A and B are shown apart, each in its own frame.
Chain A
Amino acid sequence: MTEYEQRSEVSLIVNGAARRATVPVRRLLSDFLRHDLGLTGTHVGCEHGVCGCCTVLLDGAPVRSCLLLAVTVAGHEVTTVEGLTRPDGSMHPVQQAFVECHGLQCGFCTPGFLTTTAAFLAQRPDPDEKEIVEAISGNLCRCTGYQNIVASVRRAAELLAEQDPVAAGAAVDGSGR
């Protein structure tokens, strides 16, 4: 056993459910979510915090899960793209908007855009174009040229506004409730 493989127990809330696992202390949150919890919707594009594919919500705020160790988020709430989907299986308005506006092509960067957008719109329900651009300016996409992603964020804001504000807030409390 190398010294790197010291293990530690991690308890946290993921997508509204309590999860517990014993993992090596060096395990990245991204790898923990993907390979220990089987939540492969979170993607890893660069492993140095630049591309944003691995963005998840930590207590409602976007973070790069490739830059965090799993053991450091013990006791916190994490929301992944799987957690945006409503408990009844229906799509979150942000997910729906990306489908409607062709906001994705290969889909690899998409989970990062979706989580980032969900958190952004919860804070800023009626953004202008400049604010939208600012909000997603830390995420790389190699397929779409971003034009339809900007349109998707705008459409998501409309869809959220059509629903009641309580439902809109559920995106960021991490519970999906």
Chain B
Amino acid sequence: MTTRQFGSPIPRKEDPRLVTGNGRYLDDLTTGAPAAAFVRSPHAHAKVIDIDVSDALVVDGVLAIYTYEDLDGRVAEPLPLLIPHPGLTHPKTPYPLANGLVHHVGEAVAMVVATDRYLAEDAAELIRVEYEPLPAVVGVAAAKRADRLVHADVPGNVAGRYVQERGDAREEVIAAPHTLLLSLSVERSASMPLEGRGVFAREEPDGTLRVYSSTQTSTSVRAALAAKLDLPLDRVEVIAPDVGGGFGVKIVHPWPEEVLVAWAARKLRRPVAWTEDRREHFVSSAHEREQEHLVNVGFDDEGRILGLDVQVWHDNGAYTPYGLIVPIITTTQLLGPYKPKAYRAEFWSLYTTTVIVTPYRGAGRPQGAFAMERTMDAIADYLGLDRTEVRARNFIQPDEMPYEHGLTFQDGRPLTYDSGDYPALLDKLKKLIGWDEFETFRAQAQAQGRKVGIGIGCYVEGTGVGPYEGAHVLVEPSGRVRVATGLTSQGQGHQTVFAQIVADELGVDLDSVEVVTGDTRRFRYAVGTFASRAAVMSGNAVALAARAVRDKALRIAGEALEADPADLEIEAGVVRVKGDPQASIALSTVAVLANPLRYAFDEAAQLATQFAKGDISKPPIGDDDEPGLEATDYYSPLRSTFAAGMHAAIVETDPHTADIRVLRYCVVHDCGNVVNPRILAGQIHGGVAQGVGGALYERMAYDENGQLLNASFMDFLMPYVTEVPRVEIDHMETPSPLNPLGIKGAGEAGVIPGMAVFASAIEDAEGFVLSRMPITPSELYHLRMRHAKGKVPSLRRKEENA
């Protein structure tokens, strides 16, 4: 038997190229091309009174300078609203270059194209823009207050409002034996890939516009550019080269820069490149996470939730190109593994004069998990129950699957969990971290004057949202297997995992399979890399396409070998009759046979002629047949599949300095069948690191004027190796019944419960309530002082101990 690749922790096929400096990232393709630089607004909110480019025009090497007045056709219109929603009553999208108004620091006002980036920046510095500043609106509180408006025609700064409800949650809360009201906040962070955005466009001699973009969706960039530039779709090709991380931010499309660079390349009839610098990334791409939550919960003596009434105020920044996706995900995924008797969620999405907000890994789930898990901890503390016990009493049970919440998920489909075993996950987690033994450890630590705490966070993650992904699988006469899917990659190892799936389905060696992603020349229909959907969507698509190729290969081989295809098997690239090793034909030969036009280019073709069985009563290609050993297929799911996990951490807080140290971090995780355990572990490690960053370090520090004070890696504190704990992982595999491979997504899992876990653990160490993330040592120190003055409530369990 050929070794099964699915489930095997093989090293990645991408890596030899990437470790030797042979990766091809966006900026690597641009050597010698004219470069763009942008003049960006220094004001959070202002009228643009005048733009004077006269000094800049004389800089040597300047090819063009554009302001809004120069734009034409659909390029002069606002950028598209990608995801409209009935609740989004007041959508706003920006113009590619400011049309008289700017709404955040960093909004593009003018574009310079010069023979190189240095000269383009020289010229940009010489452009004089006169602004009339308008009032800034920063943060949820200012947006809610609405005494200053971000957009004059949007009353109350409310972009949208939406309610989802099952049962009468408010009535249940009122009627419940016990109620708690929690106010919970999360600050802004951002995806912050180490490669920023970038785009490179050039018109080919045949008139085709070829665009490279560091994007999470090349097919949609292509469609957007064709529409904006009024070009037939087949005159535009978009390629995502190696992408240096995305984490959500690169799903937004088209960016103003993508439209402008492609437009300018056609205007100038020259290639144009733009590579974002780090400050630009901070002030002109996208952020996420900032939300306020008010949770009103009613529960019984056992801690079972009867009514859960949640209100959310979401800061969407200056524009809403990506609609209401983040707060929709928060208010649906907040429920996690639990089944409150009644649930109501209402959110308001609010404009502020800050960078736009679009999904960052987790996409609203970290906030939802934070709100729900804080609530679980609060109920446990109120009733004097173990925190894991309260959770267990509220779990959806395995025999209740599929479980219908009676709500609508982000994909517009019913929120229905397909499978999962939450009690078993909790048991595994408690064992892994030693939950029941922790009090012994705490007592020992206390005896040494140390403060330690343990925390937990659970989540369920809807993954693999539709509508579809597709794949093309081709067996060449050389025996090489070429696989293409339109979905892009940003470092998740797609070239490896998709090759593993195809190698198994087709019965060929892994080394013979080559995968191409995100290149519209190779595959034209795709959605993109986000929402932990790549393995589920493209994984199943490549499997289905490979199965179609296999069926075709068996049919052709059956004719050649005069055998029933049902009696054939394929191993190591050879089709043979089961139990008869002599009766065989190489897959490469079958590939030659699959095309009735057979010039004998090579030995394989010569060999194939001996198998040629022409039936002269039929045309060489049958009615429903196609030449070539290849197939295209699509996977389109009925609805999302739901992965789940639980994390626990043990932290130590310094009694004097309030420094926060992570002593242990444990993860149990269930994403169905696992294609490559090594890659899966890597995804979890990376997600946890971002969870640590979001809980303890990262925040966007806007001042009241809308200036981002920490727009550099010096001041925005992403974790180094010294800040990230060693992650201990245990797995479960509950296959998804929804897709042929039984897999669920895993890309976002690591980050989702981070804030919830650390709040739970730090609260447990300190003995007083935490309601805001992230938390720094300095903030913890001040909380201690306020707690000492009675301004921050103690945990009940700590009061009783005291």
A binding-site residues for B, Cβ under 8 Å:
1-2, 4-5, 24, 26-27, 34-35, 38-48, 50-51, 53, 80-82, 84-85, 91, 95, 98-100, 102, 104-111, 114, 133, 136-150
Contact of B194 among A24, A109, A133, A136 (CB under 8 A): A109
B16 contacts the other chain (CB 8 A): yes
CB neighbours (8 Å) of B32 from chain A are 35
Q: State A154–B271 Cα separation when bound (angstroms).
A: 44
Bound-complex Cα distance A95 to B18 (A): 9
User: Could you mark each residue 100-113 of chain B with 1 if its beta carbon is under 8 Å from any beta carbon of chain A, else 0?
Assistant: 00000000000000
Assuming A39-B21, A142-B247, is B16 touching A99 (CB within 8 A)?
yes
Known: A2-B119, A107-B15, A142-B245. 8 other contacts (CB 8 A): A40-B27, A91-B16, A105-B491, A107-B244, A107-B491, A136-B721, A147-B685, A148-B685
- B720 adjacent to A138 (CB under 8 Å): yes
If A4-B118, A105-B491 touch, does A110 touch B18 (CB 8 Å cutoff)?
yes
Q: How long is the Cα–Cα vector from A30 to B714 in the complex, in angstroms?
A: 19
Among A50, A53, A80, A148, the one with the most B-chain Cβ atoms within 10 Å of its Cβ is: A50
Using a CB-CB cutoff of 8 Å, which residues 11-29 of chain B contact chain A?
Answer: 11-12, 14-16, 18-25, 27-28
B residues apposed to A, CB below 8 Å: 11-12, 14-16, 18-25, 27-28, 31-32, 59-60, 118-119, 122, 192-195, 242-245, 247, 277-278, 490-493, 678-679, 681-682, 684-690, 712-714, 718, 720-722, 724, 726-727, 750
Query: Which A residue sits closest to B60, measured CB to CB?
Result: A1
A144 in complex: contacting residue of B28, B118, B119, B682, CB < 8 Å:
B682
Q: Is A145 touching B720 in the complex (CB atoms < 8 A)?
A: no
Are A48's CB and B713's CB within 8 A? yes
A44-B27 CB under 8 A given contacts A91-B19, A142-B245: yes
Q: Is the CB of A140 within 8 A of B713?
A: yes
Q: Is the CB of A140 within 8 A of B720?
A: yes
> Which A residues are CB-close (under 8 A) to B678?
102
Contact B195 A106 (CB under 8 A): yes
User: Could you tell me the distance between the alpha carbons of A47 and B493 in the complex, rounded to whole angstroms?
Assistant: 27
B18→A104 contact, CB < 8 A: yes
**A106 near B11: Cβ-Cβ < 8 Å:** no
5 pairs across A/B with beta carbons < 8 Å? A43-B25, A105-B491, A140-B194, A144-B685, A147-B727
**B19 with A99: CB separation less than 8 A:** yes
* B contact residues around A45 at 8 Å (CB): 194-195, 244, 278, 713
Question: What are the residues of chain B within 8 A of A91 when measuring CB–CB?
Answer: 16, 19-20
Q: Please measure, in the bound complex, the distance between the C-alpha atom of A149 and the C-alpha atom of B726, giving whole angstroms.
A: 12
Q: Are A147 and B490 in contact (CB under 8 A)?
A: no
- A99 touching B11 in the complex, CB below 8 Å, given contacts A80-B21, A91-B19: yes
Distance between A143 CB and nearest chain B CB, rounded to angstroms: 5
Report the minimum CB–CB distance from A44 to chain B (whole Å): 7
- In the assembled complex, the Cα of A51 lies from the Cα of B493 at a distance in Å of 23
Q: Which residues of A contact B687 (CB under 8 A)?
A: 145
B679 near A26 with CB under 8 A, answer no
Known: A102-B679, A105-B492. A81 touches B20 (CB 8 A): yes
Residue of B nearest to A109 (CB): B194
* Contact in complex: A48, B20 (CB < 8 Å): no
Cα-based distance from A47 to B236 in the complex (angstroms): 32
Chain B residues, Cβ within 8 Å of A114: 19
B278 to A, closest residue via Cβ: A46
B212 to chain A, nearest CB (A): 14
CB distance from A24 to the nearest CB of B (A): 7
Given contacts A98-B15, A143-B491, A149-B721, contact A50 B28 (CB under 8 A): no
Closest to A98 in B: B19
- Which of A26, A95, A146 contacts B724 (CB under 8 A)? A146
The one of A1, A2, A106 in contact with B491, judged by C-beta atoms closer than 8 angstroms, is: A106
Bound-complex Cα distance A141 to B719 (A): 8
Measured between C-beta atoms, what is the minimum distance from B709 to chain A in Å?
A: 15
The answer to whether B491 and A46 have CB atoms under 8 Å apart is: no
